[in-house]
Chain A
Amino acid sequence: MAEKFALELENIDLYYGYVRALSSINLTVRPGETVALLGDNGAGKSTLLKVMSGAHRQSSGTLKVHGEVKEFHAPKDSAAAGIEMVYQDLALVDAQDTATNMLLGKEILRKGPLGWAGFLDRKAMREEARNQIAHLGVKIDNLGRPVEMLSGGQRQGVALARSSVRVTEHESGILLLDEPTAALGYEQKMMVEQMIERMAKQGIAVVLVTHDLPLAFKCADRMVVLNRSRKVADIATKDTNNDEIVGWITGARADQAGIK
């Protein structure tokens, strides 16, 4: 019997002209599982992430969400299927406050005629944002401040919380994270780690693209390593170690036995 996967990629190829950016990639993510997607610059991990988010389309191969074959033509198609991507640039509107950013495109309107006219229920929005953020353990005292005045970790927190809320609207969503700790200090990295762990506990399938190996070892249940557009390793975190992973990333180590 086939196992129930949140996300399943089968034989994904992607060509840019004659350049093969992805070569027969197979990848599965279970609900509540965190998979770290590792590799050197140019190995294809960002490209693969973009295929999952609908920003790029594979040249061949199939992509299944909860067992159903999906065709993504634009990011909004993947969003409809319950996939959210947190970009490295976070996509925050700097001059607006946390609540407005959290609920961008999904604002809460007032009840009655004012609501029909498009009037916002700011109080309900702040309340909602507060709940969502508290759920993930981010602490922001003043939700009315523009997000440009938040620290890097808090900004990451707002972006992560926004996406995690959007994916949990689906039965079990899929969250794609692109270098979530790239610009953060130690303490804030810890916070992001905890957020990822919490999201996984809620049943969200997380794909984590990162250069930060300690983060991957801390959060991920499984490691997938790409090298020159091929998958060279796919292994449970507990069955491997830092040296092996570095070996696969740099290509110093032979492909994992039986990899396909």
Chain B
Amino acid sequence: MRKPDTLSVLVFIRSWGIFILLALLWAIFSLWAAPNFFDFDNFTQIFQAASLTAVFAAAIAMGVFSGALDLSVPGIASLSAVIMAWLMTHGVNMWVGIIAAMVTGVALGLINGVISLRGINPLAVTIGMLSITSGVAALITTGPAIYGLEALTPIGLDYYFGVPVTFWIAAGVFIIGTVFLTQTRGGAHFMAAGGNPEALRRAGVNANLFKLLGFILSGLLSAVGGVVYSAYTQQADPTPVTGTLFTGLTAVALSGISLAGGRGSLPKVFVGALVIQSIQNVLILKDIQPYVADAVTGVLLIGALGLELAINKGVSKQVVRSRTAANSTATGVLNLVSDKKKG
């Protein structure tokens, strides 16, 4: 057995840090907020809240993976949900309403993408879209939220096999998304479009198509989030819940994604959502003011990105060091040995 070196430790933290953080938090909270925290019903609540956060986080993550930060997520979510609610309260079948919401999400994502690919900064485009969607949503409802969405109970509040439906929906989104990203050619090209679109182009693949797909998936998942959120709260509010943007973004950052595109894993995003909701949950259990939770989310966001930066710097420093060291086989970094040296 060789002694683990700095590089291996850094790589280990980068790969598994979020899981360690969650385990640590759960252990500390279980003692600090005993016996209420480590309790089946409480964990059900945490998973339920995390599932909602996670769907929005997945929407943001899809954008980030393919190279664009989509800030219109809460706007697309609220407009899609309002369209669904308006249709439902005007005698249209619930499923038609849900499909209309999904189509809205895809269409708005497509618009975001087409405009951004023309060369306007995606941040500006999606902030504009956030504003447009909230305005249009308010026009549809003439201001207030639409109530009376009890028909949505089966996809918002019910339990199946003892588990809240929101968790099943989030699990479905994450499993399909993860399989797509890690197991298919489309997923590989999707990540490459975020990491190095020029490399993809030179390999003969249309990188812009995959960038467009990023916006579309982001829009679609925003709509899914909006529908599930409405089903959970039984109302459709035209005011975008921008809080979901911040918690979602924080979950993405916690998963170790630099927001620079081309890297990341969806399961870790889900764990990031669990971290945030576990913290919010324990603050409620300990009767601490809810404002603290917002502040903590902000600290987590900046802290996570800072740590990511520090680890990456550490890793590249180690890689450079092992490159210059003559006999660096023990570092675990792939060492190129020229035939000459052996001879």
Please indicate whether A and B come from the same complex rather than being unrelated chains. yes
Contacts of A25 in B (CB 8 A): none
Query: How many residues of chain B are within 8 Å of chain A by beta carbon?
Result: 35
Q: A95-B262, A122-B183, A190-B338 are in contact. List 4 more A-B contacts (CB 8 A).
A: A107-B185, A139-B335, A139-B336, A150-B334
**Distance in angstroms between the alpha carbons of A138 and B336 in the assembled complex:** 7
State how many angstroms separate the Cβ of B217 from the closest Cβ of chain A: 15
> Beyond A93-B262, A94-B196, A187-B336, is A118–B186 a contact (Cβ under 8 Å)?
yes
Using a CB–CB distance below 8 Å, which chain A residues touch chain B?
75-76, 79, 87, 89, 91-96, 100-101, 104-107, 109, 117-120, 122, 137-142, 145-146, 148-154, 157, 185, 187-188, 190-191, 194
Residues of A near B175 (CB, < 8 A) are none
Known A-B contacts A120-B183, A120-B185; the reply to A185 vs B324 at CB < 8 A is: yes
Known A-B contacts A139-B337, A194-B339; A109 and B185 likewise in contact (beta carbons under 8 Å): yes
B202 within 8 A of A: yes
| B195 near A149: Cβ-Cβ < 8 Å | no
Q: Do the beta carbons of A191 and B336 come within 8 Å of each other?
A: yes
The distance from the CB of A257 to the nearest CB of chain B, in whole angstroms, is 38
In the A-B complex, list the 9 residue pairs whose CB atoms are closest, starting with the nearest: A105-B203, A95-B263, A91-B199, A151-B323, A104-B203, A93-B195, A118-B184, A93-B192, A191-B338
What separation, in Å, do the CA atoms of A89 and B184 have in the docked complex?
A: 27
Q: How far is the CB of A109 from chain B (nearest CB, A)?
A: 6
Whether B262 contacts A120 by the Cβ 8 Å rule is no
Q: In the complex, A109→B185 CA distance in Å?
A: 8
Query: Which residues of B does A touch, CB under 8 Å?
Result: 11, 183-186, 188-189, 191-192, 195-196, 198-200, 202-205, 262-263, 315-316, 319, 322-324, 333-341
Cα distance, A142 to B337, chains bound together (Å): 14
Considering residues B323, B334, B337, B339, which has the most beta carbons from chain A within 10 angstroms of its beta carbon? B334
Tally inter-chain residue pairs, CB-CB below 8 A. Answer: 112
Which residues does chain A contribute within 8 Å of B333, judged by CB atoms?
149-151
Contact flag A96-B319 (CB < 8 Å), given A105-B205, A191-B338: no
Cα of A87 to Cα of B202 in the assembled complex, Å:
10
Query: Contacting B315 at CB < 8 Å: which of A87, A142, A149, A190?
Result: A149
Partner of B336, one of A101, A149, A153: A153
Give the Cβ gap from B145 to chain A, nearest Cβ, in Å: 41
Contact of A96 among B11, B186, B191, B334 (CB under 8 A): B191
Partner of A151, one of B186, B196, B334: B334
Q: List 30 A-B contacts (CB under 8 A).
A: A89-B198, A91-B196, A93-B199, A94-B195, A95-B263, A96-B188, A96-B262, A104-B188, A104-B199, A104-B203, A105-B204, A107-B188, A109-B185, A119-B184, A120-B183, A120-B184, A120-B188, A139-B337, A140-B334, A142-B334, A145-B334, A149-B315, A150-B319, A150-B333, A151-B334, A151-B335, A153-B336, A185-B324, A191-B338, A194-B338
B319 touches A149 (CB 8 A): yes
Which A-chain residue is minimally distant from B264 (CB atoms)?
A: A95
Tell me how far the C-beta of A89 lies from the nearest C-beta in chain B, rounded to whole angstroms.
8
**Chain A residues with CB below 8 A from B188, complex form:** 96, 100, 104, 107, 120
For the complex, what is the distance from the CA of A118 to the CA of B189, rounded to whole Å?
11
User: Once the chains are docked, how many angstroms separate the CA of A114 from the CA of B202?
Assistant: 27
| Complex: chain A residue closest to B193, CB-CB | A93
- Which chain A residues border B262 with CB–CB below 8 Å? 93-96
